[in-house]
Amino acid sequence: MRANIAIGPSGGKYLTEKEGIPLVRMGFPIHDRVGGQRLLSVGYVGTTMFLDRVH
């Protein structure tokens, strides 16, 4: 069974590009997106923002 999506920091892009699956950047560091270091990822607001990015 293959993964449909990957969740991880910017370093995950190498694996996801190789496997051809999308990467939702989450955690630290996110250095390949402008403003990535400011993405909230904890608590209720962070969770809803994460679900919006995945959807």
With cut-offs at 50, 70 and 90, classify the pLDDT of residue 33: confident
Task: Look up the domain containing 38 and give its range.
Answer: 6-54
Is 31 among the domain residues? Answer: yes
Is 1 among the domain residues? Answer: no
Is 42 among the domain residues? Answer: yes
Does 47 have pLDDT greater than 80? yes
Is 37 among the domain residues? Answer: yes
Does 17 have pLDDT greater than 80? yes
Is 35 among the domain residues? Answer: yes
CA distance 10 to 23: 9
With cut-offs at 50, 70 and 90, classify the pLDDT of residue 21: very high
Query: What is the number of structural domains in the chain?
Result: 1
CA distance 24 to 18: 15
Q: Which amino acid is at 35?
A: G
CATH of the domain at 38: 3.40.50.1980
CA distance 39 to 3: 24
Does 18 have pLDDT greater than 80? yes
The pTM assigned to this predicted structure is 0.67
Average pLDDT of span 17-40: 83
